[in-house]
């Protein structure tokens, strides 16, 4: 018998995500949809999570925030099965760092821009903001150039709204969706690595190597192929998410002025 995926695991549905963008894109077709601030009011859970996160931010006054999509959101999922217990991983790496998780399942750069413009930077001054976003842009068919501009817009918004905060940008993780998406993601990561190589308050980390085997996506590290029905690899399981935490930890600890947390996996 296989180990069940937690019921709280939301299935990645690209068509539903894309549908959220159509009205704004049609209304302003001349604009890059990745750089527009777009909410997702058709999903009640999304608005409620935004409201809940505003309350959490006001109470916590965090030292560290994580901003992103479902891969960040998954850090809140606990499970008795170790490969699905993301919450223990979060507690191990970030539990003593006064961190707040601002990951939202299905978000693209446009949704992050809306959230930041609607309270998720208000009244806080974290030392570091970790940003992992962009995979939902390219899965919708947005080009590498559009996605780059969207990520740049998020970074610029953070630098303006949180001027004392250093931004740690994590490259788009590998996936098994399509060769076209993989090519776009690789181009985005190369662009970000080049653009922010010498930036004083922005650090870029490409964690892709932790998810590859012999140069190809290691689908065994992802939950989606185990779902019923199976889907393309895009969401790391907790063991693979630990690789992500380990890869970014040296840069994160340096930016926070902390001692790096010891890892439990060996990443080549």
Domain ranges of the chain: 34-256
User: 247 pLDDT exceeds 90?
Assistant: yes
Burial class (CB in 10 A: 0-12, 13-18, 19+), 262: exposed
* pLDDT of res. 264: 53
Q: Which SS3 state, helix, strand or coil, does residue 147 take?
A: helix
pTM (two decimals): 0.88
Give, to the nearest 10 degrees, the angle between helix 144-161 and helix 179-195: 40
pLDDT at res. 266? 40
Burial of 55 (0-12, 13-18, 19+ CB in 10 A): exposed
State the DSSP string of 183-211.
HHHHHHHHHHHHHTTT-SSEEEE--GGGG
Q: Which fold has domain 34-256?
A: Rossmann fold (3.40.50)
Query: Which of 20-34, 47-61, 141-155, 233-247 is the least confident region?
Result: 20-34
Residue 158 pLDDT? 98
User: What DSSP character marks residue 105?
Assistant: T
DSSP states of 41-89 as a string? TT-HHHHHHHHHHHHHHHHH--SEEEEESHHHHGGG---SSGGG-HHHH
Rounded percentage of the chain residues whose pLDDT exceeds 70: 87
Burial of 170 (0-12, 13-18, 19+ CB in 10 A): buried
163-185 mean pLDDT: 97
């Amino acid at each position: 018998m296989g180990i069940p995926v937690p019921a709280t695991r939301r299935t990645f549905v690209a068509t539903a995500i894309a549908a959220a963008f159509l009205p704004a894109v049609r209304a302003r077709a001349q604009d890059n949809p990745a750089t527009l601030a777009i909410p997702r009011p058709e999903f009640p859970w999304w608005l409620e999570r935004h409201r809940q996160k505003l309350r959490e931010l006001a109470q916590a006054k965090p030292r560290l925030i994580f901003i992103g999509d479902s891969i960040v959101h998954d850090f809140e999922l606990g499970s008795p099965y170790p490969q699905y217990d993301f919450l223990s991983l979060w507690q191990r790496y970030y539990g003593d760092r006064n961190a707040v998780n601002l990951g939202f399942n299905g978000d693209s750069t446009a949704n992050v821009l809306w959230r930041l413009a609607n309270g998720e930077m208000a009244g806080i001054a974290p030392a570091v903001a970790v940003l992992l976003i962009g995979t939902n842009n390219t899965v919708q068919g947005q080009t590498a150039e559009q996605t780059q501009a969207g990520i740049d817009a998020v970074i610029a918004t953070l630098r303006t709204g949180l001027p004392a905060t250093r931004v740690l940008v994590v490259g788009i993780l590998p996936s098994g969706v399509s060769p076209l998406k993989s090519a776009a993601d690789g181009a985005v990561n190369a662009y970000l690595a080049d653009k922010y190589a010498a930036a004083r308050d922005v650090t870029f980390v490409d964690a892709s190597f932790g998810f590859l085997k012999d140069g190809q996506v290691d689908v065994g590290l992802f939950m989606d192929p185990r779902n019923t029905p199976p889907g393309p690899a895009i969401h790391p399981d907790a063991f693979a998410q630990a690789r992500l935490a380990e890869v970014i930890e040296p840069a994160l600890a340096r930016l926070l002025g902390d001692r790096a947390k010891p890892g439990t996996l060996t990443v080549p």
